[in-house]
Amino acid sequence: MKIIGRRVLHSLEQALSKDRVKTSINGFSPLGLVEMTRKRTRESVEHVLCNECPTCHGRGTVKTVETVCYEIMREIVRVHHAYDSDRFLVYASPAVAEALKGEESHALAEVEIFVGKQVKVQVEPLYNQEQFDVVMM
């Protein structure tokens, strides 16, 4: 290591010696940057200023409309095998209900044939995209 690099690291070590938080200096990276770590002592600014997303619960993603539609259809089949009912009523978010009545209507019709029961879809405007209820009637 060159003398200037050693002086930089020595100066940094001296400055960090006054810091009460544990630090570790790992030298220079291949790009010439000083690599170091410092133990976090407080919560991140994001954690202090933000709340967890009520829809994705901090995951950063939500299920697609198509995924929720197929979860609903699997739930209908599961409930059909476990309980006896005359028909089903599905409460779902506007986007999911629209998909079940539109582009996924053929798949829902196949489920109706499979279980031998009518499935009615009802829009629940307050539901988020992943919320749904399958009600036996």
Q: Do 121 and 90 share a structural domain?
A: yes
Total structural domains in the chain? Answer: 2
pLDDT value at residue 82? 92
Q: Do 76 and 44 share a structural domain?
A: no
Check residues 61 and 71 and name the one with the higher pLDDT: 71
What are the DSSP calls for the chain, one per residue? --HHHHHHHHHHHHHHTT-SS-EEEEEE-TTSPEEEEE---S--HHHHH----TTTTTSS----HHHHHHHHHHHHHHHHHHS--SEEEEEE-HHHHHHHHTTTHHHHHHHHHHHTSEEEEEE-TT--TT-EEEEE-
Check which CATH number belongs to the domain holding 74 and give it. Answer: 3.40.1260.20
Instruction: For residue range 116-136, list pLDDT tens digits in order.
Output: 999 999 999 999 999 999 999
pLDDT value at residue 1? 60
Query: Residue 30 domain-assigned?
Result: yes
Q: Do 71 and 44 share a structural domain?
A: no
Mean pLDDT of the chain: 92
Instruction: Tell me the C-alpha distance between 113 and 109, whole Å.
Output: 6
Q: Which domain holds residue 36?
A: 3-49
Q: How many CB atoms lie within 10 A of CB 89?
A: 15
